[in-house]
Amino acid sequence: MTTKNDLAEAVVIERTYNAPVARVWKALTDVEEMRQWYFDLKEFTPEVGFEFEFVVEHEGMKYHHLCKVTEVIPQKKIAYTWRYKGEPGDSLVTFELSADGNKTKLRLTHEGLETFPKTPAYARKNFEAGWTGIATELEQFLEGQDRQFVISRTFDAPRDLMWKIWTERDHLAKWFGPKGVTIVSAKNDLRVGGVFHYGMKTADGKMMWGKWIYREIVPPQRLVFIVSFSDEQGGVARHPFNAEWPLETLSTVTFAEQDGKTEVTVRWTPHNATESERKTFETNREGMKQGWGGTFDRLAEYLEERKS
């Protein structure tokens, strides 16, 4: 039985996905699809009583998860227990789906966290960050690889430094944005739900505003944020030159260290977009390539300036 105290400790994540319920249900219950966005499961069957396990390594520690399916309502709800081998405590993870036109609303609840050891590794904020990231991975999986724009470049800088350059206001103001623009105003609130709000001046003196809303922050590995054009007050605005550009896009930036250098990969997809906006996004890949290419050029130049 769930008590009010249990719910007070629960992590609840709510998202709306641009996919019908049947599609989202398949992603939640088909083991081949689950391996692409969730965990590397050996097997999974959406049947009450089915038990499964998997191991996750994080910051040098291995966590052996043991789970058992407790409830299945096809295309509506699936729940399973969630505990750790050799550790006290037991919890419950529930995925609930509901239709929103052709889209799907997901409510993900993880309750019972208070039963786990009172150590930093099992802090509620870690579960919240983890499930937020998983909800984002599901979103990107449902969007489909064919709809993602992906660009990578390796920079001559260690990952810890690259993380600071991407997350600290004073650094961002000196390199972010395509060639020919200068950031003249910037505020950065680096936390989940926080905003990076910036104003850019073009070579001909025109002002453009933009913002990120942070969804996931995993130092120094990964940043996820919603991107939109903005105004001076921080509202959401349309693209100044293309009214059919998605009002919001989702960016995932990952940092992988290689022999003292850092490979930066940006994955970009439309977010809560109309079909017309999606088509606009997909037909502007060359422009995105040039824009991000110019931004990466500016980042490389900034790194060189720091060495001199």
Q: Say which residue the tokens 């030159």 belong to.
A: 241
pLDDT digits (tens, 9 = 90+) for 133-164: 899 889 888 876 556 788 999 999 999 999 99
Buried b (16+ CB within 10 A) or exposed e, 148-174: bbebebebebebeebbebbbeeebbbb
248 located within any domain: yes
Q: Are residues 100 and 198 in the same domain?
A: no
pLDDT at 2: 42
- Report which secondary-structure segment, H or E, holds 210: strand 207-218
Rounded Cα gap, residues 217 and 193, in angstroms? 10
Q: Are residues 94 and 189 in the same domain?
A: no
Nearest partner of 167 among 140, 148, 149, 194, judged by Cα? 194
Q: What does the block give as tokens for 125?
A: 């904020």
Instruction: Mention every residue, 6+ apart, whose C-beta is less than 8 A from residue 97.
Output: 21, 24, 25, 28, 75, 76, 77, 104, 105, 106
2 located within any domain: no
Percent helix, strand, coil in the chain, to 5, is 30, 40, 30
Q: Is the peptide bond before 220 cis (omega within 30 degrees of 0)?
A: yes
104 located within any domain: yes
Instruction: Mention every residue, 6+ apart, whose C-beta is less than 8 A from residue 129.
Output: 192, 216, 217, 218
Instruction: Mention every residue, 6+ apart, whose C-beta is less than 8 A from residue 189.
Output: 195, 196, 214
Cβ(261)–Cβ(157) under 8 Å? yes
Q: Are residues 177 and 51 in the same domain?
A: no
233 located within any domain: yes
Rounded Cα gap, residues 182 and 195, in angstroms? 19
Q: Say which residue the tokens 């990578």 belong to.
A: 152
Q: For residue 253, give the 3-state DSSP assignment.
A: strand
Q: Are residues 183 and 292 in the same domain?
A: yes
Q: Outline where DSSP puts E strands in 112-180.
A: 149-155
From 143, 176, 195, the end of a domain falls on 143
Q: What is the pTM of this model?
A: 0.61
pLDDT at 275: 78
Q: How high does pLDDT run on average in the chain?
A: 91
3 located within any domain: no
Q: Are residues 184 and 246 in the same domain?
A: yes
Backbone angles phi, psi at 111, to 5 degrees: -115, 160
pLDDT digits (tens, 9 = 90+) for 219-278: 998 898 999 999 999 999 999 989 999 999 989 899 999 889 999 999 898 887 887 888
pLDDT at 24: 96
201 located within any domain: yes
Backbone angles phi, psi at 73, to 5 degrees: -125, 100
From 143, 164, 187, the end of a domain falls on 143
Q: Are residues 131 and 159 in the same domain?
A: no
pLDDT at 146: 54
Instruction: Mention every residue, 6+ apart, whose C-beta is less than 8 A from residue 261.
Output: 154, 155, 156, 157, 158
Q: Are residues 134 and 214 in the same domain?
A: no
Per the structure, the count of domains in the chain is 2
Q: Are residues 129 and 234 in the same domain?
A: no
Domain of residue 236, CATH code: 3.30.530.20
Q: Are residues 12 and 135 in the same domain?
A: yes
208 located within any domain: yes
Q: Are residues 128 and 221 in the same domain?
A: no
294 located within any domain: yes
pLDDT along the chain (308 residues), means of 10: 53 94 95 85 95 84 94 98 96 97 96 94 92 89 75 95 97 92 94 94 91 90 92 94 92 90 92 84 91 95 89
Q: Are residues 288 and 246 in the same domain?
A: yes
Q: Are residues 15 and 127 in the same domain?
A: yes
Tell me the residue range of the domain where 207 lies: 146-307
From 143, 174, 202, the end of a domain falls on 143
